[in-house]
Amino acid sequence: MPAILLHLIPASLYALLGLHFWHSRWRAAAPVTHHGMLPWERGTLLLALASHGLSLQHAFFAGGGMHFGFSQALSLMLWLALLFYWVESLYARLEGLHALGLPIAAFCALLPAAFPGQHLENAASPLFRAHFVVAMLAYSLFTLAALHAMLMSVAERRLHHARLTKALASLPPLLTMETLLFRLIGIAFVLLTLTLGSGVLFSEELFNQAFRLDHKTVFALASWVLFGTLLVGRRAWGWRGKRALRLTLAGFITLMLAYVGSRFVLEVVLGRLA
């Protein structure tokens, strides 16, 4: 199969599903009579995730060795986020996330075809691979948390102005969504702590260089502080609502700048690989 098809298939499935959910949930003229995803919708999304997983395997390991860059980071994070969401949707009705997450995933699934990334010299190290997997799990959970935060913000604004759509009205109560948001952030914070800790302690073995306090590390630490502050504020003072949503999005954007942003500048803006 041509390499481009490996990326086009999941992108097309995501795009078609996103369009379907937009028209059937967000813009439906009649009330939605079913709850959650229909069997064919769930099966199609699982097929899209499987094909996306194959395309990621090719993007990371094409030609021998391991390749990685901002495009693979974004594509993998959206794949993991949708996978978590697919499992989560077995237990909760979160229809509004379909129309938000799927178009983004369609775009990100195509990125590795245009930007292949760089070859990683130390990818054979088990410690490096463990560090990489934990980091990607943390990023994906924070991605899902950010999507939840944006959806909650939209729903809260519409609710206050008495303009709640059918799709938003089908979501769980905002308090339930908020509890889920903090559960995601809590798990992701633990994974981010492990990522930063392993990076500091094993920098020379992971990256073949001593630990350096560069811009990537500064952004990652800033994100860790933001999310840690949010969790402490939630537990100690019951922070919620707009303050929690703003801190969630601020922490997420800072985390993205830590690696994805720096790789984008190096690979695309400056036109070179670091």
- For residue range 88-123, what is the model confidence (pLDDT) as tens digits? 788 777 666 677 789 999 999 999 888 877 766 666
Other beta carbons within 10 Å of 189: 22
- Is the pLDDT at 58 greater than 80? The verdict is yes
At 22 the pLDDT is 81
At 30 the pLDDT is 46
Other beta carbons within 10 Å of 171: 19
The string over 141-154, giving b where at least 16 C-beta atoms fall within 10 Å of a residue's C-beta and e elsewhere, is bbbbbbbbbbbbbe
At 95, is the secondary structure helix, strand, or coil? Answer: coil
Of the chain, the percentage scoring pLDDT greater than 70 comes to: 76
Chain mean pLDDT for the chain: 80
- For residue range 186-220, what is the model confidence (pLDDT) as tens digits? 999 999 999 888 887 877 766 666 667 777 788 88
At 203 the pLDDT is 74
- Give the C-alpha separation, 78 to 7, whole Å: 14
- Give the C-alpha separation, 172 to 10, whole Å: 28
At 192 the pLDDT is 93
Please answer whether residues 111 and 4 qualify as being in contact, where contact means their C-beta atoms are separated by less than 8 angstroms. no
Q: Which of 23-32, 102-111, 254-263 holds the top average pLDDT?
A: 102-111
168: pLDDT confidence band, cut at 50, 70 and 90?
low
Question: Rounded mean pLDDT of 3-13?
Answer: 89
Q: Which of 38-42, 173-177, 224-228 holds the top average pLDDT?
A: 224-228
Please answer whether residues 32 and 170 qualify as being in contact, where contact means their C-beta atoms are separated by less than 8 angstroms. yes
In sign, the C-alpha dihedral spanning 20, 18, 114, 125 is negative
27: pLDDT confidence band, cut at 50, 70 and 90?
low
Of the chain, the percentage scoring pLDDT greater than 90 comes to: 22
Please answer whether residues 55 and 10 qualify as being in contact, where contact means their C-beta atoms are separated by less than 8 angstroms. yes
Give the residue from 174, 130, 119 showing the smallest Cα distance to 152. 174
Q: Which two tokens stand for residue 170?
A: 């089908």
- Give the C-alpha separation, 42 to 65, whole Å: 34
Question: Rounded mean pLDDT of 149-173?
Answer: 71
At 273 the pLDDT is 47
85 HSE (CA, 13 A, CB side): 30
Q: Which of 24-33, 88-97, 172-181 shows the lowest per-residue confidence on average (mean pLDDT)?
A: 24-33
Q: Which two tokens stand for residue 11?
A: 């992108």
Residue type for position 255: L
More confident residue, 74 or 106: 106
Please answer whether residues 17 and 98 qualify as being in contact, where contact means their C-beta atoms are separated by less than 8 angstroms. yes
More confident residue, 165 or 126: 126
